Amino acid sequence: MRAAVYPGAGQPLRIEEQAVPVPLHDEVVIKVCRCGVCGTDLHATEAHSEMPAEPGSVLGHEYAGEVVETGRDIAHLKLGDRIAVMPLRGCGRCADCAAGRIARCLNKAKQFGGYAQFARVQELTAVRLPADLSLQDGALVEPLAVSLHGAAMAGITPGCRVTVLGAGPIGAGAAFWARHLGAGHVTVVERLPPRQRIAQAMGADRVLAPEAVDPDESASDVVFEAVGRPGLLGAAMAHARMGATVVSLGFCMAADPITPAMACRKELTFKFPTGWSRRDFEVAADVLAKGTVEPRAMLTDVVGMDELPQAFEALRRPADQCKVVVDPWG
Ligand SMILES: [Zn+2]
Ligand SMILES: [Zn+2]
Same structural domain, 134 and 148: no
Of the listed ligands, the closest to the CA of 168 is: 1
Average pLDDT over residues 303-322: 93
d(CA 142, CA 1): 24
DSSP type of residue 116? B
Burial status of residue 313 (CB atoms within 10 A of its CB: 0-12, 13-18, 19 or more)? middle
Q: Residues 58, 148: one domain?
A: no
Do 191 and 82 fall within a single domain? no
How many A from CA of 169 to the centre of ligand 1? 9
Q: Which ligand is nearest to the CA of 108?
A: 2
**What does the alpha-carbon distance between residue 130 and residue 323 come to, in Å, rounded to a whole number?**
22
33 belongs to a structural domain: yes
In-domain check, residue 283: no
45: domain CATH number is: 3.90.180.10
Asked if 96 and 179 sit in the same domain, the reply is no
Task: Note whether 177 and 188 are within 8 A (CB).
Answer: no
The domain that holds 200 is classified in CATH as 3.40.50.720
Distance 40 CA to ligand 1 centre (A): 6
Average pLDDT taken over every residue of the chain: 95
For residue 278, being part of any structural domain is answered with no
Count structural domains, the chain: 2
Ligand 1 mean position to 143 CA, how many Å?
Answer: 6
Could you tell me if residue 159 is inside a domain? yes
Instruction: Compute the average pLDDT of residues 242-262.
Output: 94
At residue 145 the predicted structure's pLDDT band, cuts being 50, 70 and 90, is very high
Q: Is the pLDDT of residue 318 over 90?
A: no
Residue 126 Cα to ligand 2 middle (Å):
15
Domain assignment present for residue 281? The answer is no
165 and 131 share a domain?
A: no
- Cα(265) to ligand 1 centroid in Å equals 34
Cα–Cα distances in angstroms (integers) from residue 19 to residues 2, 118, 120, 122, 181, in the given order: 9, 9, 12, 19, 45
* Gap between the Cα atoms of 77 and 128, Å rounded: 8
Distance CA 93, CA 56 (A): 30
| Residue 279 falls inside a structural domain | no
106 alpha carbon, closest ligand: 2
pLDDT at position 215 is: 67
Which ligand sits nearest to residue 36's alpha carbon? 1
What's the gap in Å between 281 CA and the centre of ligand 2? 18
Averaged over 212-227, what is the pLDDT?
A: 87
Same-domain status, 89 and 61: yes
Rounded to the nearest whole angstrom, what is the distance from the C-alpha of residue 248 to the centroid of ligand 1?
A: 14
Q: Are residues 261 and 168 in the same domain?
A: yes
Ligand 2 centroid, distance to 109 Cα (angstroms): 10
Q: Do 66 and 134 belong to one domain?
A: yes
Residues 24 and 87 in one domain: yes
Dist. CA 11 → ligand 2 center (Å): 34
Q: What is the pLDDT of residues 22-76, one digit of tens each?
A: 999 999 999 999 999 999 999 999 998 888 999 999 999 999 999 999 999 999 9
Region of residue 194 (left: phi > 0; alpha: psi -120 to 50; beta: else): alpha
Residue 65 burial (CB count, 10 A): 29
Given 226, 241, 271, the domain boundary residue is 271
The answer to whether 232 and 165 are in contact (CB under 8 A) is yes
pLDDT, position 213: 85
Residue 237 scores a pLDDT above 70? yes
Separation of CA 142 and ligand 1 centre (Å): 7
Measure 94 CA to ligand 2 centroid, in angstroms.
4
Task: Judge if 153 and 109 occupy the same domain.
Answer: no
Domain ranges, residue 211: 144-271
Q: Are residues 170 and 212 in the same domain?
A: yes
Give the pLDDT of residue 243.
Answer: 96
Mean pLDDT, rounded, for 256-276: 96
Cα(105) to centroid of ligand 2, in Å?
Answer: 4
User: Does 280 reside within a domain?
Assistant: no
pLDDT-based confidence at 214, cuts 50/70/90?
confident
Separation of 91 CA from ligand 2 center, angstroms? 4
152, 275 contact by CB (below 8 A):
no
The ligand placed nearest to the CA atom of residue 102 is 2
Give residue 51 CA to ligand 2 midpoint distance, Å: 21
Q: Is residue 170 part of a domain?
A: yes
Residue 10 shares a structural domain with residue 102: yes
Q: What is the pLDDT of residues 89-104, one digit of tens each?
A: 999 999 999 999 999 9
